[in-house]
A and B are shown apart, each in its own frame.
Chain A
């Protein structure tokens, strides 16, 4: 467990870079930037519950040379501020990092606050870098990387209390790179964000059944590391399972399928673990994750059924 990985990483970045600014639309606690506000009160702008202003004000600041980290919920960034992000920030290639909290299905607060389609939406923006880190370690390293990178970024950060799991692997975040965490001959998980953690845990369960799983973690969804993904899928005879905390449409699954088809690579099986194409139910997270197949037991069940 790591407290406020994004906020603390942002503080470290800001100590070295005086141009770093944070802008918030009322959700600074859930978007994890409280440590930054405490340490750099003069470099923090509150715009209120105004997601459109969050985008445009950040654009204006970036025009004058600031490196801006603008944060809100993923749902509001994607659905509410899209035109403003597209036109005022992305078209201008401005140095604004949009930090979305509560990505995909990671709140039990209800469908109004869920963002199952945020990646699909942001993938529509040319040259938009999209990052879906898996845990605090990933988030921290990704924060350093995107601060260095000049240009617009959308990063959907995991819940503040997400358990750290990547420390068990020889892992280092690299912008635009997918990383093979472990190899295995029966199943290849291609996963991102929260679902990488679930796939790691599921792989341990499946190993007890004698099923060997490879796990390819894809924290950068755009630009996609097509080369690494296609190479991993070239190994014939293993089931490819793309897992993401996102609707089945327009996310890592579709992007992977497109990459494979364009390279003429046909795996022996291709399956997706994702939120179904339906308006999600309200309910508690464990229930919903079970219902939609995102929980570790359900991932195991799905893989077992596909291997039969």
Chain B
């Protein structure tokens, strides 16, 4: 979806985010559980990336002129599949295969399986390094494409992320945008209680990055951040730290104390989807 096509579309980014949430919930229902809270939290950012910021052609996911969108945290695959379905890169009728045998949509994202899944993340701390190499490769080809690498706040624990962060600055990779989904939740509890990575923005700034920190559930703010990065006026790698709310949009799931991996009762899926659909109107 090129930026031009996006601007012609009469579907709002808010509506895109709603649909992404809906697809994610429907996939979650297939398995009865999953990384739903992350998908709901990141839906607004994904809507901005796929329907505003990234240049792509849904009918040709490997188009050479595309912006590369990397998902470093492979366990967010459910979120990305939802965005890829909404973008028309994956067909909606495959949604029910999520996490099943022979599906193109495994539980943790794999590049070899899914159109539009650029890299295999999952083992955390890989994505930003691959993004550095990819950004170098694009520059060498004199391509004007961007690398947009999504990573989670938990990945900031990984030393390899900071190796890559240093390399990105050293090699002046101003065609790279890292997007940190900062939801302060990881497997064992609150991220900041596991290994305090705050102040994240100051750390990236100290590493020489152009830093923006926004409310990741405020679509206008996320749009402005991507526009700021892609304006191309700052000769540094860009990071957009998106503070997001786990399970955003479904209050009864937001309220669950530990929602890193949500187990949702069978009747709750319909309820969640209903809430999302109602939210669409307001």
Which residues of A are interface residues toward B (Cβ below 8 A)? 21, 45, 47-48, 50, 52-53, 55-66, 83-84, 87-88, 91-92
Separation of A92 and B133 alpha carbons in the complex (Å): 15
Most chain B beta-carbon contacts within 10 A, residue among A60, A62, A65? A60
Chain B 100-141, CB-CB to A under 8 Å as 1, else 0, gives: 000000000011100000111011011111111111111011
Separation of A53 and B134 alpha carbons in the complex (Å): 12
Asked whether, in the complex, the Cβ of A60 is within 8 Å of the Cβ of B167, the reply is no
> Chain A: which residue is nearest B125 at the CB level?
A52
Asked whether, in the complex, the Cβ of B137 is within 8 Å of the Cβ of A53, the reply is no
Please give 10 more A-B residue pairs, beta carbons under 8 A apart, in addition to A45-B136, A56-B133, A62-B133: A48-B170, A53-B163, A56-B129, A60-B137, A61-B137, A61-B140, A63-B133, A64-B133, A65-B137, A91-B112
B31 within 8 A of A: no
Asked whether, in the complex, the Cβ of A60 is within 8 Å of the Cβ of B130, the reply is yes
Inter-chain contacts of B97 with A (CB < 8 A): none
Q: Which of B125-166 touch A at CB < 8 Å?
A: 125-138, 140-141, 143, 147, 159-160, 163-164, 166
- Between A and B, 8 residue pairs with Cβ closer than 8 Å are A48-B163, A50-B167, A56-B130, A56-B164, A57-B167, A60-B134, A64-B138, A91-B112
Asked whether, in the complex, the Cβ of B137 is within 8 Å of the Cβ of A52, the reply is no
Separation of A21 and B122 alpha carbons in the complex (Å): 27
The secondary-structure label for the interface of chain B is helix
B171 within 8 A of A: yes
Separation of A96 and B120 alpha carbons in the complex (Å): 16
> Chain A: which residue is nearest B121 at the CB level?
A87
Asked whether, in the complex, the Cβ of A59 is within 8 Å of the Cβ of B129, the reply is yes
On chain B, the number of residues with a Cβ less than 8 Å from chain A's Cβ atoms is 34
A57-B129, A60-B135, A63-B133 in contact; A92/B166 too (CB < 8 A)? Answer: no
Asked whether, in the complex, the Cβ of B129 is within 8 Å of the Cβ of A64, the reply is no
Asked whether, in the complex, the Cβ of A60 is within 8 Å of the Cβ of B141, the reply is no
Asked whether, in the complex, the Cβ of B141 is within 8 Å of the Cβ of A53, the reply is no
Separation of A88 and B128 alpha carbons in the complex (Å): 11
What are the 3 closest A-B residue pairs judged by CB atoms, nearest first?
A60-B133, A64-B137, A56-B129
Asked whether, in the complex, the Cβ of A63 is within 8 Å of the Cβ of B130, the reply is yes
Asked whether, in the complex, the Cβ of A53 is within 8 Å of the Cβ of B140, the reply is no
Asked whether, in the complex, the Cβ of B120 is within 8 Å of the Cβ of A91, the reply is yes
> Chain B: which residue is nearest A81 at the CB level?
B160
A50-B167, A53-B164, A61-B134 in contact; A87/B140 too (CB < 8 A)? Answer: no
Inter-chain contacts of B141 with A (CB < 8 A): 64-65
Separation of A57 and B120 alpha carbons in the complex (Å): 14
Shortest Cβ gap from B8 to chain A (Å): 30
Shortest Cβ gap from B279 to chain A (Å): 37
Inter-chain contacts of B159 with A (CB < 8 A): 52
Shortest Cβ gap from B1 to chain A (Å): 22
Asked whether, in the complex, the Cβ of A84 is within 8 Å of the Cβ of B136, the reply is no
Separation of A63 and B132 alpha carbons in the complex (Å): 11
Inter-chain contacts of A55 with B (CB < 8 A): 129
Inter-chain contacts of B110 with A (CB < 8 A): 91
Inter-chain contacts of B126 with A (CB < 8 A): 56, 84, 87-88
Shortest Cβ gap from B116 to chain A (Å): 14
Inter-chain contacts of B138 with A (CB < 8 A): 64
Shortest Cβ gap from A170 to chain B (Å): 41
Asked whether, in the complex, the Cβ of B160 is within 8 Å of the Cβ of A56, the reply is yes
Separation of A64 and B134 alpha carbons in the complex (Å): 6
Separation of A50 and B165 alpha carbons in the complex (Å): 11
